[in-house]
Amino acid sequence: MNHIIRNAGLLLTVLSFGGILSSGSGVGDGRHPVGSEDVYKLVWSDEFDRDGLPDTSIWHHERGFVRNHEQQWYQPENAWCEKGMLVIEARKENRPNPNFEEGSRDWKKSRRTIDYTSSCLITRQTASWQYGRFEMRGRIDVSKGLWPAWWTLGVTHRWPANGEIDIMEFYRGRLLANIACLNDDRRTAKWFGKSYRTDSMGGKAWADKFHVWRMDWTDTEIALYVDDQLLNRTPMDSLYNRDGSGFNPFRQPHFMLLNLAIGGDNGGDPSGTAFPNRFEVDYVRVYQRTEKR
């Protein structure tokens, strides 16, 4: 596995898998429960305690129109660090699409203009992990047309055979916790997903606050949480590609992505939403189990 190791000497003792991890912002500061079986070590983190551009030794940027017929043009200028936070800002703009081609059937080239911009940060080729506890403390806006996400993809095979984990995803009034592998048509994704209406969670008042999203990923299951509430638990032996290969894309390292998308196949209509709009991230952390007590 290709790790960027930070704070490698810090051990975090937490409740065993499925238990509670404090959602406080500190790590190893007495806020986390002690005395359980599993001992985790912080192997990587970005606390975004800098001003200016995100750390380029960690984060790369996707550029242009990328996936899902989304309306935003991805560019580095829409992501920066300030006051200990990563800010990903979606903006409403109007400028020519530099890749436009008259009559093209490629949706990335058939659009004459760029109407929105945003950013997608990605750790592909800089950091990847297999198994562990992943945490992100962030704040999302739940306005129409917005599609913020914190997710992972496997390092080998093409999508969806590489495997996708949506630890945090929101669109069209729903918070999602999804896992995908290759379906038996050898083309589409087979989803193991759960969704929850954000209005039942508190709506805008809930979204105005920071929350902690978490994945506990072991060799037996993947469990996804928000604020210690279980959203999705899927056994590992269900997560194999249905192409006859028997390949399980979750028994390989994954890299992570942070993005704020707009519209597209799932995001909905952003025309009534105020811009600029932000997805804010306090920290991203990865822990891995080191021993059993």
C-alpha to C-alpha distance for 260 and 263, rounded to whole angstroms: 10
Spatial CA neighbour of 136 closest among 26, 285, 10, 6 = 285
Q: Which two tokens stand for residue 203?
A: 């709506």
Known catalytic residue: 169?
Answer: yes
User: Catalytic residue among 47, 89, 135, 169, which?
Assistant: 169
Known catalytic residue: 37?
Answer: no
How many Å is the maximal CA-CA distance in the chain? 65
The secondary element (H helix, E strand) that includes residue 200 is helix 198-201
User: Catalytic residue among 47, 62, 135, 164, which?
Assistant: 164
CB 257 within 8 A of CB 120: yes
Cα 121 to chain centroid, rounded: 10
CB 96 within 8 A of CB 111: no
The secondary element (H helix, E strand) that includes residue 230 is strand 229-235
Beta bridge partners of 85: 82
Q: Which two tokens stand for residue 34?
A: 């002690």
* Catalytic site positions: 164, 169
